[in-house]
């Protein structure tokens, strides 16, 4: 069922079963819509669902209950937005996108980018992990980079550790320093969480080595350690 998804092999038989159940539910419940002439196939559904459900293997509840629709474009798509322009009338600006996640709304993905998450599982980039991390973050009604945590000690540690890591990335980005985490994470704390999630699942060894405390926070939130495919800590 999972084809080339390497991380599945590291899971225990029990977790593989759990993943299968989550993926089957996700494929069934979500309304899949092709855009830009794309015909959505079973391979596409299973691929996106498997990557998305990897994030919630260690979590309880219906984490993706607000994901009713997934739109798939063949490749990068462009989107027009009205942006303020130096005191004058707002101007239309087009930007190219790999994906986006809407609060209580759909997830939009470039299939080409989503597929690369499977063919390059350890380059630190994964649009599906990125957009679904946004969905987990938004579950409490705020896209602020702090997902729902258990207990005040967990929030305190998150704000202290993740906040410091975010500020460090902002500083490094300003100074043009080389960083493991994508500098896109310096955009705001929500993007930081999404970018850190990509690294956590794609290059856990490097993230642990360079950002040990951040790694610990992500392990506790996701309730899994991707290094050994261990779920439920």
Which residues bind to Zn ion, rule: CB under 5 A? 191, 194
- Nearer to Zn ion among residue 137 and residue 225 (C-beta): 137
Within 10 Å of residue 151's Cβ, how many Cβ atoms? 8
Place of tokens 């991380």: 7
In angstroms, give the least distance from the CB of 184 to Zn ion: 7
Q: Would you state the structure tokens that stand for residue 206, as one six-digit string?
A: 């490097």
Q: How far is the CB of 141 from Zn ion (least distance, A)?
A: 17
Closer residue to Zn ion, CB minimum distance, 191 or 202: 191
**Nearest residue (CB) to Zn ion, 97 versus 210:** 97
Angle, helices 127-138 vs 111-119, to 10°: value is: 110
Across the beta sheet with 99-101, the strand order is 31-34, 69-73, 107-110, 99-101
User: Least CB distance from residue 134 to Zn ion, whole Å?
Assistant: 6
Closest separation in Å from C-beta 40 to Zn ion: 23
CA distances (Å), origin 219, targets 108, 154, 163: 27, 12, 16
Identify the CA nearest to 7 among candidates 51, 63, 60. 51
Residue nearest to Zn ion (CB): 194
Kindly state the DSSP code that residue 71 receives in the 8-state scheme: E
Report how far residue 166's alpha carbon sits from residue 169's, in angstroms, rounded to the nearest whole number.
5
Q: Which residue lies nearer to Zn ion by CB, 198 or 225?
A: 198
Q: Which is nearer to Zn ion, 202 or 225 (CB)?
A: 202
């Amino acid at each position: 069922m999972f084809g080339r998804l390497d991380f599945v092999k590291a899971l225990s038989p029990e977790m593989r079963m759990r993943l299968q159940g989550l993926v089957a539910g996700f494929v069934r419940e979500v309304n899949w819509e092709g855009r830009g002439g794309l015909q959505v196939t079973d391979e596409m559904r299973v691929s996106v669902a498997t990557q998305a459900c990897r994030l919630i293997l260690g979590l309880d509840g219906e984490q993706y209950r607000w994901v009713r629709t997934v739109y798939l474009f063949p490749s990068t798509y462009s989107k027009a937005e009205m942006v303020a322009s130096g005191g004058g009338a707002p101007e239309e600006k087009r930007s190219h996108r790999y994906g986006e996640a809407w609060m209580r709304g759909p997830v939009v993905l470039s299939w080409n980018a989503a597929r690369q998450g499977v063919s390059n599982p350890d380059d630190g980039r994964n649009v599906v992990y990125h957009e679904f991390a946004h969905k987990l973050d938004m579950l409490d009604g705020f896209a602020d980079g702090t997902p729902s945590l258990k207990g005040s000690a967990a929030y305190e540690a998150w704000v202290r550790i993740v906040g410091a890591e975010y500020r460090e990335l902002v500083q490094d980005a300003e100074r043009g320093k080389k960083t493991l985490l994508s500098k896109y994470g310096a955009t705001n704390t929500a993007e930081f969480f999404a970018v850190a999630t990509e690294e956590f699942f794609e290059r856990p060894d490097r993230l642990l080595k360079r950002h040990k405390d951040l790694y610990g926070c992500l392990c506790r939130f996701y309730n899994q350690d991707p290094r050994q495919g261990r779920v439920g800590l």
